[in-house]
Amino acid sequence: MDIEELNILLNSETETEVLEFKKAERQYDKDKLGRYFSALSNEANLYGKECAWLLLGVLNDKTIFGTSISDKQLNEYKSEIANHTSPTLSFIKTERIFTEKGKVILLQIPAAPKGQPVSWKGHYYGRDGESLGALNSEEYDRIRNQKVSTDWSAQIISEASIKDLSTEAILKAREQYAEKNPKLKETINNWDGITFLNKAKVCIAGQITNTAILLLAKPESEHYINPAVSKISWILKDRDNIEKDYAHFSCPLLLEVEGVYSKIRNLKYRYLQSGTLFPDEVDQFDPYIIREAIHNCIAHQDYTLGGKINVVEREDGILTFVNSGSFIPGSVEKVIEADAPETEYRNPFLANAMVNLNMIDTIGSGIRKMFVIQKNKYFPLPEYDFSNNKVQVQIIGKVLDENYAKKLALNADLSLQDIILLDKVAKQKKLVDSEIKELRKKKLIEGRSPNFYVSSTIAEVTGEKATYIKQRGFKDDHYKKMILEFIEKYGKATKNDIDNLLMEILPSVLNDKKKANKVRNIIYAMSKKDMTIINRGTRKNPEWIKV
């Protein structure tokens, strides 16, 4: 870019959603830069632009002020952006323009990829004219719902051939295809390799696809899909989250899934079933859940981001699966409630091939079945996290509260959706308005947002009445009566006296700060409204006595 093109940017009427000026005399705050990068990238996408611009060394009124930011600083900015954006992006280019009034640095920012809003440190930013703020939900959905014109998994690799595929993997694929299509078992044996791969829809007209490399290629053929990778890492961590062991698996993923599965220790868990003196012994992690979670990672990974799939096992009975890319259905609750095939896939060609090779199904019940398996074992339900443009599912292989979980699961009046929402309440996860409305309608929760707890009805059914009282606390009249009885017995009550009297029995869903506020409100009501006590001490050291 030369000085004339710089002048074109400077001659725009004002800053816009895709153009920002910053003074930045000697340096610029990295966190602010990251937020602007996210906002400008998202706005460039929404406005159909290829890029956006951030000019350092220019005032808001477009006057050139000049900047002395060094090349070293610029490299630090680039590194920071690459490390904390998702999907991982950086500047298209950075360029210094020398003018009579000083140097200007132009930072060219790429538009967010189709279907992928850009976040900075897990947060999505946008612009409203010159103002920087959060990307609103409507704009987020507009980017998320953009149709990607090409299916990465169906792309042809012209230089690859069947020789780049694993003979062992193809034999396994034939077995699984025959299992999926028993009526074709005899016919399948008469197909040559390419015919079979075409029929299984792993290849297209005899040509090798990215899907074929992922599922069936020899390890040394992985380079064909570069910069994408075909990798799954298993990592074992101790209770303190310190890594103890690891292993990496590459293509052919059709075979390597069993290698990942074999690494997971999957110890036995013992607990007493009701009505028997003999312990029941089950796997910590159901084999179906492990395979379903790994296959989902493979099918739905966003390979254009260049990331690998991680399977993290912790010694305290927690298994976590992580793949790159957003969760296209939007919410797990939606998937479970629909219990039907998804209408949109990130990798439709790959997903279809995995169906044909009997790795996944299309009835849409995989995630739902994972929830049901955990519920029936009285284990906590799978927990999903969609932050940082990743899909993470955590499986806990143990009972956290056996008595409560067992009775809750056996309550015939509760649907799976009800149990999923109550599981969120028990884990103190944030509920959205629609979930709160549904739980209140069924009288399953009490309390105020965000401090909800299970209702007295559920507490009674599950035998958790004591826990219910601890969470809900008592009515204010109860606490007032306790304070009056204390003063009647001892003649006065200091702040420490009242704290020692009440803090332990206030609702357990409140943190210490909220408990202190509640005590202050009770004292205020007794002294100013009820007129039952009066302070004969000082404001800093009150001594409350009865009126």
3-class DSSP assignment, residue 537: coil
| Bridge partner residues of 545 (DSSP) | 534
* Least confident window among 90-94, 169-173, 256-260, 501-505: 501-505
Domain CATH code at residue 45? 3.30.950.30
Statement to judge: residues 250 and 391 lie in one domain: yes
> Which DSSP category does 55 fall into?
E
Identity of the highest mean pLDDT range in 85-94, 299-308, 395-404: 299-308
| 466 falls within a domain | no
**pLDDT higher at 375 or 485:** 485
Q: What pLDDT, on a 0 to 100 scale, did the predictor assign at position 401?
A: 57
* Least confident window among 306-315, 351-360, 511-520: 511-520
Place of tokens 């967010």: 112
| 140 falls within a domain | yes
Q: What pLDDT, on a 0 to 100 scale, did the predictor assign at position 466?
A: 41
Statement to judge: residues 77 and 59 lie in one domain: yes
Statement to judge: residues 83 and 158 lie in one domain: no
Domain CATH code at residue 326? 3.30.565.60
| 463 falls within a domain | no
Between the CA atoms of 305, 82, 392 and 210, what dihedral angle is there, to the nearest 10 degrees? Answer: 10
User: What is the average per-residue pLDDT within 97-115?
Assistant: 87
How many other CB atoms sit within 10 Å of the CB of residue 21?
A: 25
Q: pLDDT for 197-229, tens place per residue? A: 999 999 999 999 999 999 999 999 999 999 999
Query: With 50 as the cut, is the pLDDT of residue 410 above it?
Result: yes
Q: What pLDDT, on a 0 to 100 scale, did the predictor assign at position 461?
A: 42
Taking the mean position of all CA atoms in its chain, how far away is CA 69? 36
> pLDDT band for position 458 (50/70/90)?
low
Place of tokens 């989250």: 241
Distance, in Å, from the CA atom of 77 to the CA atom of 69, rounded to the nearest integer, reads 11
Rg (CA), the chain: 30
Statement to judge: residues 289 and 412 lie in one domain: yes
Q: What pLDDT, on a 0 to 100 scale, did the predictor assign at position 311?
A: 97
User: What is the average per-residue pLDDT within 489-508?
Assistant: 84
Query: With 50 as the cut, is the pLDDT of residue 463 above it?
Result: no
> Which DSSP category does 268 fall into?
E
| 273 falls within a domain | yes
Instruction: State the total domains in the chain.
Output: 4
Q: Which of 225, 247, 278 is the last residue of a domain?
A: 225
Distance, in Å, from the CA atom of 174 to the CA atom of 491, rounded to the nearest integer, reads 87
**DSSP output for 217-238:** B-GGGGGGGTTS---EEEEEE-
Structural domain of residue 207, as residue ranges? 152-225
> pLDDT band for position 469 (50/70/90)?
very low
Taking the mean position of all CA atoms in its chain, how far away is CA 388? 7
Distance, in Å, from the CA atom of 419 to the CA atom of 428, rounded to the nearest integer, reads 14
Percent of the chain topping pLDDT 70: 85
| 181 falls within a domain | yes
Q: Which of 206, 225, 244 is the last residue of a domain?
A: 225
> pLDDT band for position 424 (50/70/90)?
confident
| 471 falls within a domain | no
Query: With 70 as the cut, is the pLDDT of residue 408 above it?
Result: no
| Bridge partner residues of 395 (DSSP) | 319
Q: Which of 398, 422, 446 is the last residue of a domain?
A: 422
Q: Write the CA distances from 245 to 255, 266, 398, integer angstroms.
A: 21, 15, 22
Note whether 38 and 76 are within 8 A (CB).
no
Query: With 50 as the cut, is the pLDDT of residue 427 above it?
Result: yes
**pLDDT higher at 59 or 343:** 59
pTM of the model: 0.57
Q: What pLDDT, on a 0 to 100 scale, did the predictor assign at position 467?
A: 43
Statement to judge: residues 162 and 104 lie in one domain: no
Statement to judge: residues 283 and 369 lie in one domain: yes
Query: With 50 as the cut, is the pLDDT of residue 343 above it?
Result: yes
Length of the chain: 547
Statement to judge: residues 159 and 136 lie in one domain: no
Statement to judge: residues 80 and 207 lie in one domain: no
Q: pLDDT for 230-272, tens place per residue? A: 999 999 999 888 999 999 999 999 999 999 999 998 887 766 5
| 367 falls within a domain | yes
Statement to judge: residues 400 and 296 lie in one domain: yes
Statement to judge: residues 74 and 161 lie in one domain: no
Statement to judge: residues 26 and 132 lie in one domain: yes
Distance, in Å, from the CA atom of 225 to the CA atom of 211, rounded to the nearest integer, reads 9
Q: What pLDDT, on a 0 to 100 scale, did the predictor assign at position 365?
A: 66
Note whether 312 and 237 are within 8 A (CB).
yes
Tokens in use for 188? Answer: 């399948």
Statement to judge: residues 260 and 306 lie in one domain: yes
User: What is the average per-residue pLDDT within 506-520?
Assistant: 80
Domain CATH code at residue 533? 1.10.10
User: What is the average per-residue pLDDT within 296-316?
Assistant: 93
Note whether 300 and 345 are within 8 A (CB).
yes
| 468 falls within a domain | no
Return all residues near 490 (Cβ < 8 A) that are at least 6 apart.
497
Distance, in Å, from the CA atom of 189 to the CA atom of 200, rounded to the nearest integer, reads 13
Closest CA to 139 of 123, 127, 129, 151: 127
User: What is the average per-residue pLDDT within 529-541?
Assistant: 90
Return all residues near 30 (Cβ < 8 A) that are at least 6 apart.
76, 77, 80
Q: What pLDDT, on a 0 to 100 scale, did the predictor assign at position 465?
A: 40
